[in-house]
Amino acid sequence: MSEQIISAKGLTKRYGGKTAVENLTLNVEKGRVLGMLGANGAGKSTFFRMIVGLVQPDDGHLEVLGKEPGWRTNAEIAYLPDRARWYGDYTTKQSIEWGARFLPGFDSEEAARLRDIMRLPMDLKAGEMSKGQEARLMLILCMARRVPLVILDEPFSGIDGSSREHIMDVLIDALSEKQQTLLISTHEIYEAEGLFDRVVFLDQGRVALSGDAESLRGQYGSIDALSRKLYREGEK
């Protein structure tokens, strides 16, 4: 059996009377791409925050890279939070220098390569960037790290079509060149359709459906179509 990167058993998290994640069990093996899918508030971000130790589960067990989540495991995780913002007075260049100094496993050459792909001006300040440019800057800081696990919460949101293609190229390289494990949440599935090895559909904190992307395709058609179907049913 391959190395387990994430091993979650019966994870549950409640906020007051509201259940954010309920009895979530899943394993992710090394080198795989897990798509966490579902509407806003389905529990995707809560699950990611548990992996990086920002949220403590009320119940259940979670192992990340074979250990309990904490600062030690976080050094080996590149995490892009949902709706992340960056320091407004940092230029692209200064941000990359900051990354080289403070982020474990940061590879400056890789950052330069990614900056070329993402076409981000070196001397532009984050505060003067468009939403998409800022998102790309933060993605560069994540993807330039040589760490085994990458977690991207909504990496495509607010990003235009051609930049999405660049992001896809960077993610494909992360798999073929660096053997990283990726967890990605998105509700814009169409772009990333071909990337997932496994998908988990969350609905109000519960797993509505999960499985191997190729088998689900054989059974129900595209992941994109399946998601729209599940989502419509959920609205009824």
Partner 1 sequence: MDERKVGSLRLTLDFSQPLYEQILAQMRSLIARGAIDVGEKIPSVREMAHELKINPNTVMHAYQELERDGLTEKRRGQGTFVTESVTQIRHFKERLAFDYSDQFLDKMHSLGFRWTEIQSFLTTTREKKGER
Among 48, 86, 156, 196, binds partner 1 (CB under 8 A): 196
112-171 positions binding partner 1, by CB under 8 A: 165, 168-169
- The DSSP output letter for 110 is H
CB of 99 to partner 1, least distance (A): 25
Asked if residue 33 lies in contact with residue 184, where contact means CB atoms within 8 angstroms, the answer is yes
User: d(Cα 201, Cα 25) in Å, to the nearest integer?
Assistant: 13
Among 89, 108, 221, 233, binds partner 1 (CB under 8 A): 221
| # chain residues binding partner 1, by CB under 8 A | 25
The structure tokens 């129900």 sit at 220
Q: Does 59 bind partner 1 (CB under 8 A)?
A: no
User: d(Cα 110, Cα 116) in Å, to the nearest integer?
Assistant: 10
Comparison of 33 and 65: residue with beta carbon closer to partner 1: 33
Tokens representing 102? 């403070």
Residue type, 26: L
Region from 26-34, 66-74, 112-120, 147-155 binding partner 1, contact rule CB under 8 A: 26-34
Comparison of 126 and 152: residue with beta carbon closer to partner 1: 152
Site string for partner 1, 63-92 (x = CB under 8 A): ------------------------------
Q: Helix count (H) and strand count (E) of the chain?
A: 9, 9
Tokens representing 158? 């607010």
Neighbours of 76 (CB within 10 A): 17
Comparison of 32 and 44: residue with beta carbon closer to partner 1: 32
Q: Does 194 bind partner 1 (CB under 8 A)?
A: yes
Neighbours of 87 (CB within 10 A): 11
Nearest CA to 27 out of 215, 217, 212, 219 is that of 212
CB of 230 to partner 1, least distance (A): 15
Q: Does 224 bind partner 1 (CB under 8 A)?
A: yes
Q: Give residues in contact with partner 1 (CB under 8 A).
A: 31-33, 165, 168-169, 172-173, 175-177, 193-197, 214-215, 217-218, 221-225
